[in-house]
Structure 1
Amino acid sequence: MTLRPLSDVAADIRLSPEDVLPWGRDRAKVSLDALGRSQRQGRLVLVSAINPTPAGEGKTTMSVALAMGLRQRGRRAVAALREPSLGPVFGVKGGGTGGGQASLEPATDINLHFTGDIHAVTSAHNLLAALVDNAVYYGTPAVLDSTRVRWRRAMDMNDRFLRHVLVGLGGKAHGVPRETSFDITAASEVMAILALAENLQDLEARLGRILVGHAPDGAPVRAADLHAAPALVALLKDALMPNLVQTREGGPAFVHAGPFGNIAHGCNSVLATRMALAYGDEVITEAGFGFDLGAEKFLDIKCRSSGLWPRGVVLVVTLRALKHHGGAPASQLASPDPEALQRGFEHLEQHLNSITAFGLPAVVCVNRFPQDTQAELDTLRAFTQQRGVETAVCEGFSRGGEGALELADRVLEMLDRTDAAPPRPRFLYELSQSPEEKVLAIARTVYGASDVAFTSGARKDLEALRDLGGLTLPVCMAKTHLSLSDDSSKLGRPRGFTLTVREVRLSAGAGFLVALTGDILTMPGLPREPAARRITLHDDGRITGLMQGE
């Protein structure tokens, strides 16, 4: 397909040519100076979803489709989405640029090296790791206890064999032997910091606050104590600028930063969102995985940090996911099953209740698959209407913006109703509450848990945090995306369960605590049949197989 010149895409939203910095033919960085050249304030729409099946439910596809549908209605709509990570691209899910006729372009480049942002984050993360081990080796500029180093290493790939490693082997000249780990780059605190930073100065300050370990007397050692922050900023300077690309129909899209949704806070950057709001009428952004993960963190962490707040929520559902949560076997998800569908409505209802808890209006978006019957769609529409929520069926995958016109219309109606009195921020907890109270508020309100249990190890972590000043930070929950609970096998709407927190980490630079639950891992592994196996390089240079079903 032939893409529009990116200069024309930028001109559609009145970006100045001097602010658009080409990064190849179809990609560009946008100067942070552009934020000061516009006084507009668009209307922010948050796209989330119910808990997905392992294959995902097309949330990014629906986000792109909605942006395209709004443009077909004459609106200056802008998508503001996350960058794909190579781990999922080559792992289970494949590329993260939407799908079919509702995709971002150039999809192959975005899914692979793009503008090098994730490589820059990986390099900055590992530079800090090298500086930490150098301080362990020489005892300067800070003395570090080699047994209490907290900073791990990172790479943008799923590799279970690097979850636990030994470094510093080979004798004294090669370092101090110790055990460490690798995290996927999307789980790096540096990635979270990049996504939350407001400018270069804020970026440097946040990087300096990273807790890397402890001195022999137990005193905290931070990146600033190693004089590391300026060098890290030098690696991240270009990466901080949002990336401009286009949808398949030539509409503008900012694609920037990619913290994991079930480990970190799962949202694109604050700067990209601000940029889109400054130049668009409506801004369509998404948060990773279901409402219980990405959307809750978007609201309680990203919005609390930035002062942003959405006008409303689009909740993506599929009939197959509802039947999945209603107990239908995987082999029957494509077949009509009225009973399983009805049982799955309980799962949907929990998510709708969570949206209401934040004081936000919602539209349910059905990502329609070819096998979906009209009778099933009518049943779903009747269920949501009983709860005062409009449902729109979207066929963006097969029909692009034209297939998203019903969704665009329902979203515009929702937004127009908020113009006179936009929703005001409503968080689930106050920062003054204890970490235990914050986790309990999330678990009861969003997951439907009856209680929270902290293991002895997690309680030791919390006790240590009292001396590190981390108790007044928001909480970033790390849990499975496949269930409302911390057990991926518990589908539907689990009730009466106790959420177990096994570890609590301090991300002082990002500005949140990470509460790890269940068997969640910060370095995923590849599946038995990795997506990497279906990728083909053709004689004409085209790459196929990056997206599911391609």
Structure 2
Amino acid sequence: MTKSDLEIAHASKMQPISKIAAKLGIQEDDLRPYGKYVAKLPLRLIDESKIKGKKLILVTAITPTLAGEGKTTASIGLAEGLNKIGVKTAVVLREPSLGPVFGMKGGAAGGGYAQVLPMESINLHFTGDFAAVEKAHNLLSALVDNHIHNQKNTLNIDPRKIIWKRVMDMNERALRDIVIGLGGSAQGIPRESGFDITAASEVMAALCLSNDLMDLKQKLGNIIIGYTYDDEPVRAYQLNAQGAMTALMKHTIMPNLVQTIEGNPAIIHGGPFANIAQGSNSIIATKMGLSLADYVVTEAGFASDLGGEKFLDLKCQYGNLKPDAVVIVATIRALKSHSGIPFPDLKIPNADAVAFGLPNLEKHIENMRHFMLIPVVAINKFATDSVEEIQVVIDRCEKLGVKVALCEAWEKGGEGATDLALAVKEAAESGKSNFTPLYRFEWSIEQKIEIIARKIYGAAEVEYSVKAKQQIKLFKKIGLDKLAVCIAKTQYSLSDDPKLTNRPSGFTIKIREFDIAAGAGFIIPIAGTIMRMPGLPSKPAAESIDIDADGNITGLF
């Protein structure tokens, strides 16, 4: 009988976090322990002079399907594999959100023998970083309503134009749209509002794009909470909110050190959405890893058209980071799904269906080459994959001049990822990558959207609604047009229509409106309908999670 991820995690013997830290040259006195196996790392350990010459590896994927691609598992496995072949490597990841943990995913700490530990702690609250983001965000929400109620709205805020909602780290559809301030004059001013999930908070995005505590403070102060009756933006610093918000984030800004199943260092920090934010761990965590290890393996949410593009255009430009290679994770099951094979039939061998789904992989390879990066394809192997199906992918990658390797880390840990590690090491040290962002921030909003839509999505046209055009004019007027763009669209298609799978062409990207994250440093063109507060599925993972009298948790997977 196959063991569950949690059973594998429980059977693993963890080392004290001080021993993991020692592998990175960190003294025990520099650690801020959270129990025996987790520690915060102070920002003074980041040394820009040590980063030069280190290798940064981005892990992205083909367009996700219900079959799953296992990007986190592949990232952890690659780090284990690199350490196996003698390369001092740290894996740097995002923190899991409780919403997906209790919703559909049931956990986000890798899988099988490619996990980060302690698995339950990482998935459930961890070091309280999400809670701190939530409290800082909601403090600003409270200050906004208090200003209107108690301070007679001296900032002239139009209650109908307040864009700052509240957040909680849970899937709760009932709170998406609400009315607050009911119950009489003592309860505040009635107005429409709602909740987003904490991972969608601009505070989270700002945390992950900050370089230090004072940079975070400035970013939080620049958050736009809404507009006046004259359409002038109102920022958090005008409410004197940034100091208290940053005080709540004093410890949150420090990355978290944990370990892999094989006792290698893992740094986990931040967790912004990849739809409406950058979808990757913090600049601070990545630079921490590069300061302490020779190689850093990191992932970006969803596929190359979402988290991958945003990692490269936003995070790398803001953090002055240069990836040396990129891994594109693909699965046989997902490729068959893109060919139209229904979910129940994905386990049936079908080499023709794999070949029919390959254009999706080809597009993601092309996308990474737009950034002048050397891609390596990782076939995340499942037991149902046939030799013939795997060979179809290998043959196509060889024709495209792309290195390809099996990743069997779920089953074999680092031993199952050594071939991938060797291919990645060769690509990273070849000197052939010459990372170049797709756009520069000084370009116009339309230029930035256009190049992403055409080159990365493969769109034929970009179309703007009347509202979107009016917002572009407003952004230009108030000086926000030179920010990065972070396009929000479905993860299930290269287009903005989730039904258009594989590699669609000739489609139009329709920008219906914009959100703004002026503090974090980007504007958000919205294509299609994006859910900022997910709901629970018909059978939530939470129903299977339990705990016994001794505190042993079951049901996480």
> What TM-score range do you get, normalising by the shorter chain?
over 0.9
User: 1:107 matched to which residue of 2?
Assistant: 119
Q: Residue 476 and residue 40 in structure 1: after superposition, are their counterparts in 2 closer, same or farther (change >3 A)?
A: closer
| 2:522 equivalent among 498, 504, 512 | 512
Alignment pair present for 1:27 and 2:43 = no
1:155: Cα distance to partner?
A: 0.7
Q: How does 1:6-85 map to 2 (within 5 A)?
A: 6-36=17-47, 39-41=50-52, 42-85=54-97
| 1:92 equivalent among 104, 126, 129 | 104
| 1:130 equivalent among 142, 157, 162 | 142
Residue deviations 1:99-134 (CA, integer Å, cap 9, x gap): 011000001100011000000000000000000111
Q: Residue 55 and residue 125 in structure 1: after superposition, are their counterparts in 2 closer, same or farther (change >3 A)?
A: farther
Distance 2:517 2:48 in 1: 33
Q: Residue 141 and residue 274 in structure 1: after superposition, are their counterparts in 2 closer, same or farther (change >3 A)?
A: farther
Q: How does 1:316-327 map to 2 (within 5 A)?
A: 316-327=329-340
Alignment pair present for 1:254 and 2:267 = yes
User: 2:5 matched to which residue of 1?
Assistant: none
Residue deviations 1:200-222 (CA, integer Å, cap 9, x gap): 11011100100011223332210
> Is the contact between residue 197 and residue 532 of structure 2 (CA under 8 Å) also seen in structure 1?
yes
> Is the contact between residue 95 and residue 122 of structure 2 (CA under 8 Å) also seen in structure 1?
yes
1:425: Cα distance to partner?
A: 3.5
Alignment pair present for 1:4 and 2:4 = no
Residue deviations 1:447-501 (CA, integer Å, cap 9, x gap): 1110111112222222221222111111101111111111111111011000111
Alignment pair present for 1:299 and 2:312 = yes
Alignment pair present for 1:456 and 2:470 = no
Distance 1:378 1:539 in 2: 50
User: 1:360 matched to which residue of 2?
Assistant: 373
Distance 2:422 2:227 in 1: 55
Distance 1:399 1:38 in 2: 36
Look up the equivalent residue of 1:382 and give its one-letter code.
Answer: D
| 2:283 equivalent among 270, 274, 286 | 270
Distance 1:489 1:173 in 2: 48
Distance 2:229 2:447 in 1: 32
Distance 1:56 1:198 in 2: 33
User: 2:183 matched to which residue of 1?
Assistant: 170
> Is the contact between residue 351 and residue 388 of structure 2 (CA under 8 Å) also seen in structure 1?
no
Look up the equivalent residue of 2:202 and give its one-letter code.
Answer: E
Residue deviations 1:340-392 (CA, integer Å, cap 9, x gap): 11111111111111011000001100110001111111111010010000111
User: 1:533 matched to which residue of 2?
Assistant: 543
Q: Residue 467 and residue 104 in structure 1: after superposition, are their counterparts in 2 closer, same or farther (change >3 A)?
A: same
Moved more, 390-399 or 11-20: 11-20
| 2:402 equivalent among 370, 373, 389 | 389
User: 1:446 matched to which residue of 2?
Assistant: 456
Distance 1:458 1:47 in 2: 33
Q: How does 1:122-271 map to 2 (within 5 A)?
A: 122-137=134-149, 138-139=151-152, 142-271=155-284
Question: SS at the partner of 2:64?
Answer: coil
> Is the contact between residue 67 and residue 337 of structure 2 (CA under 8 Å) also seen in structure 1?
no
User: 2:354 matched to which residue of 1?
Assistant: 341
> Is the contact between residue 470 and residue 506 of structure 1 (CA under 8 Å) also seen in structure 2?
no
Distance 1:535 1:53 in 2: 25
Alignment pair present for 1:403 and 2:413 = no
1:149: Cα distance to partner?
A: 1.1
Look up the equivalent residue of 2:13 and give its one-letter code.
Answer: T
Structure 2 unaligned segments of length 5 or more: list them.
1-11
Look up the equivalent residue of 2:542 and give its one-letter code.
Answer: A
Moved more, 354-363 or 407-416: 407-416
Look up the equivalent residue of 2:517 and give its one-letter code.
Answer: S
Residue deviations 1:237-275 (CA, integer Å, cap 9, x gap): 100000000001110000000001122110100000000
How many residues were matched structurally? 544
1:24: Cα distance to partner?
A: 1.5
> Is the contact between residue 51 and residue 287 of structure 2 (CA under 8 Å) also seen in structure 1?
no
Question: SS at the partner of 2:57?
Answer: strand
Moved more, 379-388 or 29-38: 29-38
1:143: Cα distance to partner?
A: 3.4
Distance 1:76 1:425 in 2: 23
Look up the equivalent residue of 2:41 and give its one-letter code.
Answer: V
> Is the contact between residue 535 and residue 545 of structure 1 (CA under 8 Å) also seen in structure 2?
yes
Question: SS at the partner of 2:511?
Answer: strand
1:544: Cα distance to partner?
A: 2.0
Look up the equivalent residue of 2:71 and give its one-letter code.
Answer: K
Moved more, 424-433 or 223-232: 424-433
Structure 1 unaligned segments of length 5 or more: list them.
none
Q: Residue 308 and residue 374 in structure 1: after superposition, are their counterparts in 2 closer, same or farther (change >3 A)?
A: same
Look up the equivalent residue of 2:505 and give its one-letter code.
Answer: R
> Is the contact between residue 100 and residue 398 of structure 1 (CA under 8 Å) also seen in structure 2?
yes
Look up the equivalent residue of 2:511 and give its one-letter code.
Answer: V
> Is the contact between residue 141 and residue 225 of structure 1 (CA under 8 Å) also seen in structure 2?
no
Residue deviations 1:167-189 (CA, integer Å, cap 9, x gap): 00011111000001211110100
Alignment pair present for 1:467 and 2:477 = yes
Alignment pair present for 1:425 and 2:435 = yes
Distance 1:55 1:265 in 2: 24
| 1:314 equivalent among 327, 331, 356 | 327
Q: Percent identity?
A: 47
1:446: Cα distance to partner?
A: 0.9
1:528: Cα distance to partner?
A: 1.3
Distance 1:531 1:485 in 2: 29
Look up the equivalent residue of 2:87 and give its one-letter code.
Answer: R
1:36: Cα distance to partner?
A: 4.0
Question: SS at the partner of 2:385?
Answer: coil
Distance 2:272 2:152 in 1: 33
The normalised TM-score by structure 2 is 0.96
Distance 2:48 2:380 in 1: 37
Residue deviations 1:396-424 (CA, integer Å, cap 9, x gap): 00111111111111111111212xx6x33
Alignment RMSD (CA, Å): 1.3
Alignment pair present for 1:286 and 2:308 = no
Distance 1:518 1:40 in 2: 39
Residue deviations 1:72-125 (CA, integer Å, cap 9, x gap): 111110001000001111111221100011000001100011000000000000
Distance 1:277 1:208 in 2: 29
Question: SS at the partner of 1:213?
Answer: strand
Distance 2:121 2:153 in 1: 42
| 2:497 equivalent among 487, 499, 509 | 487
Look up the equivalent residue of 2:547 and give its one-letter code.
Answer: L
1:55: Cα distance to partner?
A: 4.7
> Is the contact between residue 507 and residue 514 of structure 1 (CA under 8 Å) also seen in structure 2?
yes
Question: SS at the partner of 2:349?
Answer: coil
Question: SS at the partner of 1:253?
Answer: strand
1:224: Cα distance to partner?
A: 0.4
Question: SS at the partner of 2:405?
Answer: strand
Distance 2:476 2:488 in 1: 21
